[in-house]
Amino acid sequence: MINALTIKKDFPIFSRKIDGRPIIYLDNAATTQKPRQVVEAIVNYYYNFNSNIHRGIYRLSEEATDLYEKSRENVEGFIGAGKDGTVVFVRNATEALNLVAAEYSRNLEPGDEVILSTMEHHSNLVPWQFLQEKGVVLKFVDLTPDWELNMDQLETLLTPRTKVVSITHVSNVLGTINPVKEIGKMAHENSAIFVLDGAQSVPHMPVDVSTIGCDFMAFSGHKMLGPSGIGGLYGRKDYLDHMHPYMGGGEMIKQVWKEHATWNDVPQKFEAGTPNIEGAIGLSAAVDYLRNLGMENVRSHERELIGYALELEEDLKIPGLRSYGPRNLDVRGGVYTFNIGDIPTFDLEMEMMSRGIRITGNGIHPHDVAQSLDRDNIAVRSGHHCAMPLMNELGVAATSRASFYIYNAREDVEKLFDGIRMTERAYAK
């Protein structure tokens, strides 16, 4: 099982104190802290192997190339890519989703449909919105009263014109874990491809793309203990083989003439220019760290923490506190999103802000909540969390969000609720 206090010793940042007090980091859905093992892997590359890869016919380049490609194999194994799939290294999940939307969309025609959900992160919404310019129709699966996807509605939305179903595995706001295997089966039975946003699942639970049956999956290294600027697009090789390159330049080509060029094999076909070599190596080290813990253990630990948060919410009965997301822990990730009191709707706040007025309704604005908690070195996220359509669905402009990870303990959850209670009391006076 996970021992958060022991794990925390691997993370140099937690030795830092601000104003003499430790950091309570609860913004893991945005980015995670980095263990010493990841930092050392990157430093080792720079100290001993730094060179460009694939093209160099000398020892350093060959060694760096081997490290880079072994990192890819390690990441592929971590997500269960299998022989029919591969991982393209990209900057982050956002780039991965843009790549799929931009290049697979060449197969789409006016009137074709893409199904998304109301809970999507902007990264799995805006790239598909671009396709409306060519006549592609977007359709949305709504939520049930239990904060889960309305699967009956999804079934009715599927038509012969549906070509893509693109859904998040875990909501970054609600923590809802979606039934992705079932969604993929429904998409394929309708002859549509299934794109999965795994940014909030790959770091937190066992993910096997072969079992899920997705055709593409996006994920980010910085959300799973790895460095920033590296992420992955899992894709089926047969789809990637038939897709146009996303960017042109060095490395992604086989031969180039003045008027035309031919493309490199997958995955290099989608990795134009010098890649983030050290990022891939750091991500591989992060994968090793998580694999050593066991992803079932990671999931169990977060389930315990979110369960404890919901228990404290019920027991403490802090005036005005309300949270969002399923109460069923089987379909709930380690995200606790909340407001204190009545927060204005998104449209009303936008209108008031355009007039230079900030309003909070009868509640405490999430930004004020975050600043209040920060006085106790409790780091949480506040805002719309890149999910404005979901905020509209919730009837608020913003929320506060605490998100847990392997180095968080029950004591961190208790301190969070102590801070929420003190914030409510302070603003009530």
Condensed to tens digits (0 to 9), the pLDDT of residues 168-196 reads 999 999 999 999 999 999 999 999 999 99
Question: Do 146 and 265 belong to one domain?
Answer: yes
Give a yes or no: residue 33 inside a domain: no
Per-residue confidence at 388, pLDDT binned at 50, 70, 90? very high
For residues 148 and 213, state if they share a domain: yes
Q: What is the pLDDT of residue 406?
A: 98
Is 164 a member of any domain?
yes
Torsion of Cα atoms, 305 then 209 then 151 then 337, to 10°: 30
Domain count of the chain?
2
Q: Which of 246, 262, 292 is the last residue of a domain?
A: 292
Tell me: pLDDT of 268 over 80.
Answer: yes
Last residue of a domain, one of 251, 275, 292: 292
Same domain (yes/no): 266, 312: no
- Domain-terminating residue out of 246, 263, 292: 292
Domain of residue 361, CATH code: 3.90.1150.10
Does one domain contain both 412 and 390? yes
What was the pLDDT predicted at 206?
98
pTM over 0.75: yes
pLDDT on residue 428: 82
**What percentage of the chain reaches a pLDDT higher than 70?**
96
Give me the pLDDT at residue 249, please.
97
Q: Are both 90 and 112 inside the same structural domain?
A: yes
Average pLDDT of the chain, as a whole number: 96
Domain-located, residue 72: yes
**pLDDT value of residue 374:** 98
> What are the catalytic residues?
386
Structural domain boundaries, residue 86:
38-292
Which CATH number does the domain housing residue 210 bear?
3.40.640.10
Do residues 323 and 283 share a domain? no
Q: Judge whether residue 387 has pLDDT over 70.
A: yes
Question: In this predicted model, what pLDDT tens digit does every residue of 65-97 receive, in sequence order?
Answer: 999 999 999 999 999 999 999 999 999 999 999
Which pLDDT score, from 0 to 100, does residue 53 have?
Answer: 97
Residue 362 is predicted with a pLDDT of 74
Give yes or no: residues 335 and 274 share one domain. no
Q: Is residue 394 in some structural domain?
A: yes
* 284 lies in the same domain as 300: no
Mean pLDDT across the stretch 228-240? Answer: 98
Is residue 373 domain-shared with residue 279, that is, in the same domain?
A: no
pLDDT of residue 357: 56
pLDDT at position 358 = 55
102 within a domain of the structure (yes/no): yes
Q: Is 80 contained in some domain?
A: yes
Whether 341 and 270 map to the same domain: the answer is: no
Q: What would the 3-class secondary structure string for the chain be?
A: CCCHHHHHCCCHHHHCEECCEECEECECCCCCCCCHHHHHHHHHHHHHCCCCCCCCCCHHHHHHHHHHHHHHHHHHHHHCCCCCEEEEEECCHHHHHHHHHHHHHHHCCCCCEEEEECCCCHHHCHHHHHHHHHCCEEEEECECCCCCECHHHHHHHCCCCEEEEEEECECCCCCEECCHHHHHHHHHHCCCEEEEECCCCCCCCCCCHHHHCCCEEEEEHHHCCCCCCCEEEEEEHHHHHHCCCCCCCCCCEEEECCCCEEECCCCHHHCCCCCCHHHHHHHHHHHHHHHHHCHHHHHHHHHHHHHHHHHHHHHHCCCCEEEECCCCHHHECCEEEEEECCCCCHHHHHHHHHCCCCCCCCCECHHHHHHHHHCCCEECEEECCCCHHHHHHHCCCCEEEEECCCCCCHHHHHHHHHHHHHHHHHHHC
The tens digit of pLDDT for each residue in 154-173 reads 999 999 999 999 999 999 99
- Specify if 401 maps to a domain: yes
Task: Indicate if 99 and 228 belong to the same structural domain.
Answer: yes
Q: In the prediction, which pLDDT does 257 show?
A: 97
395 shares its domain with 281: no
Q: What is the tens place of the pLDDT at every residue in 310-366?
A: 999 999 999 999 999 999 999 999 999 999 998 766 665 665 566 665 555 678 999
- In this prediction, residues 368-376 reach a mean pLDDT of 97
